[in-house]
Amino acid sequence: MFKKIKPWISAFRLRTLPLSISGIVIGACLAHHNGAFNVYVFLIAVLLTISLQILSNLANDLGDGVKGTDNEERVGPQRAIQSGAISEDQMMLAIKNNILIVAGLTVLLIYTALGVHHLFLSLLFLVLAGLSIYAAISYTVGESAYGYKGLGDIFVFIFFGLVSVGGSYLLFTQRIDHHIFLPAIALGLLSVGVLNLNNMRDIETDERSKKITLAVKLGKKRAKQYHLFLIGSAILVSSIFGLLYFSSFYNLLFMIAYVPLIIHMKKISNASIPNDFDSQLKVLALTTFLFSVLLGIGYIM
């Protein structure tokens, strides 16, 4: 039984899930700070976000596997399609079932958060859900996969940063407030950093496989400079947020995450081989989640 489940657990890529819910945590905590929090909305939003991330991971496994991007030269965990542990038909069925789960959770979330009194917002979230499904699948699947055209960074910034934080805050409060933008931008930059780190690790194999990520376009040296810019900018933007909206020293708890971020920047500056980048993927993803939790807690204490 476990042998059948193990490949699926691997394909779900559980280590990516904390990063995926970081925006929900920030949006929910800022909404709580403004007196608008619903635990049921929060839980359903977390489940929906996790389902979308798993959908993205499965589609990524399928797309890169079919295109031959995942091969024996790839550094990092072996993918399901690449290893043959899961067939293309099985993966496609799992993706279709996951889309149904996402659709069901979307309807449940909209009804729980908005009821029947906010038609425009309900339609807006249906559109966002549709776009999220499209973005999750089209990153590597299909002839026009945007991940193969160097556009992944833009999509990650929008969906992991602006949409995740702004959308969750909107669900709780039914409005958008100016103070959510800087945290959303900071989170978006850190999330793009995770993607860029992954792309720097795979830069040589991606180039040979015609997967033209932004890291491939920039080259290793400039991709590292770009990475340092992303992390440094996230630190700067969040620092400005902390100063502009300071009301208690608890608000600055998120700055604790600067310590591992600065150490991470130093290690990336000295990185030279794919394994150097791979070893920092989990570090940056978990540090981003820590940053989000500390930022959120700092505004509800």
- How many angstroms separate the CA atoms of 13 and 62, rounded? 13
Amino acid 68: pLDDT: 66
Give DSSP secondary structure letters for 186-219: HHHHHHHHHHHHHHHHTHHHHHHTT---HHHHH-
Query: Helix, strand, coil % (nearest 5) of the chain?
Result: 80, 0, 20
pLDDT of residue 66: 78
Domain boundaries, the chain: 2-298
* C-beta separation of 280 from 264 below 8 A: yes
pLDDT number for residue 78: 63
CB within 8 A of 45, min separation 6: which ones?
Answer: 24, 28, 109, 168, 171
Q: How far apart are CA 65 and CA 84, in angstroms?
A: 10
- Position 71 scores a pLDDT of 54
Angle ∠(33,34,37) on CA atoms, nearest 5: 80
- State whether residue 139 is helix, strand or coil: coil
Q: How many C-beta neighbours within 10 Å does residue 255 have?
A: 17
CB neighbour list of residue 87: distance below 8 Å, 6 or more residues apart:
81
| CA 294 remoteness from chain centre | 18
HSE (side-chain half, CA atoms, 13 Å) at 68? 4
**27, 161 contact by CB (below 8 A):** no
Distance between alpha carbon 291 and the CA centroid of its chain, in Å?
14
Please report the pLDDT score of residue 7 as a whole number. Answer: 82
2-298 CATH fold: Farnesyl Diphosphate Synthase (1.10.600)
Mean pLDDT, consecutive 10-residue stretches, the chain (301 aa), reads 74 91 97 95 97 94 75 60 81 95 97 91 95 92 86 95 96 95 98 96 88 93 97 98 94 97 97 92 96 96 84
Q: Find tokens 């690790």 and name the residue.
A: 201
Find where tokens 């833009």 sit: 154
pTM beyond 0.85: yes
What's the count of helices (H) and strands (E) in the chain, helices before strands? 15, 0
Selection from 127, 133, 126, 176 nearest residue 155 by Cα: 133
Alpha helical stretches, state H, 34-180: 39-67, 80-83, 88-114, 119-138, 152-156, 164-173
Residue 268 is predicted with a pLDDT of 97
Instruction: Judge contact between 281 and 201, C-beta under 8 A.
Output: yes
